[in-house]
Amino acid sequence: MTSERILEAARALFAARGYRATSMQAIADEVGITKAALYYHFDSKEEILHQLTFPLLDELESVLAQAETCGGAQEVRWRAIEGYVDVHLRHRHTLTMLVKDMTLLVQAPVADRFRAAIALANDLVAGPGGGLAQRVRASQVVAGLADPVVLFRDEPADRLRDLILDGARALLGEQAAPRARGRARGRNGGRRAALTGEQIAQARSLHAEGHGVEEIAARFDVSRATIYRYLRN
């Protein structure tokens, strides 16, 4: 669709040149349409900006709201951290566009929504009743979740995600759960890709009791994706 082509062209131009340095004519030229045709789809450059940034903000607000409803503080913390990283990785090109022209991050309503999301993420990572030291550490963690997405945007998303989460654990003084000896391994010594029928039942029971996916995955020495797959089916 023409509107989608316009948004993709605008995103690329904003990231390369900056929002203010990109004219509506330049966007029309990039798409191969007239300026009048461009205005048929979008009333202004600001509307294009909102169409590009609001999906990121909508998803970010959604994952943080979902994390907030989890049970324990640890579950809330890691749901928020992982969701925050995943949203930014999915929208890395939009994030790059925003960082290219930092003035975009002080414009309402984009700036207001980002500030609110960051504030909520800080609170969720810090946990209830945290002192100053804990809140400062939480803000350091949240600040470090998005920057690598932009700085290393050409790296594979899965690899980058793992490294960002490892850094968050290090800042929080947490270690990845150790793998128990003697468990069956996957190819090349990696995690197993499947669970037995009995283990699947145990995993579902643990989840129903309120245990987090990360905890269950560590217990059975499989990836979170494996656990999510069995919980959905």
| Distance (Å) of CA 201 to CA 58, 75, 133, 191, 229 | 34, 21, 41, 19, 13
Pick from 101, 93, 116: nearest CA to 45:
101
How buried is residue 98: exposed, middle or buried, by Cβ count under 10 Å (0-12/13-18/19+)? buried
Buried b (16+ CB within 10 A) or exposed e, 49-86: bbbbbeebbebbeebbeebeebeeeebbbbbbbbbbbe
In sequence order, which ranges of the chain are alpha helices (DSSP H)? 2-17, 24-31, 35-41, 45-68, 73-90, 92-100, 110-126, 132-151, 157-172, 197-208, 213-220, 224-232
| Distance (Å) of CA 232 to CA 9, 86, 92, 135, 225 | 37, 19, 27, 35, 11
Position 188 scores a pLDDT of: 39
Q: Check residue 186 and report its DSSP letter.
A: -
Pick from 5, 10, 12: nearest CA to 96:
12
Query: Cβ distance 49 to 20 under 8 Å?
Result: no
Place of tokens 């803000």: 139
| Distance (Å) of CA 1 to CA 36, 42, 117, 134 | 17, 13, 31, 48
What one-character-per-residue DSSP string does 206-217 give? HHHTT--HHHHH
How do the pLDDT tens digits run along the chain, 233 residues long? 899 999 999 988 988 888 888 999 999 999 999 999 999 999 999 999 989 989 999 999 999 999 988 888 899 999 999 999 999 999 988 888 888 777 676 666 788 888 899 999 999 999 988 789 999 999 999 999 999 999 998 899 999 999 999 999 999 987 544 333 333 334 334 444 567 777 787 888 877 777 777 778 777 777 666 776 677 65
Pick from 156, 224, 19: nearest CA to 148:
156
Position 179 scores a pLDDT of: 34
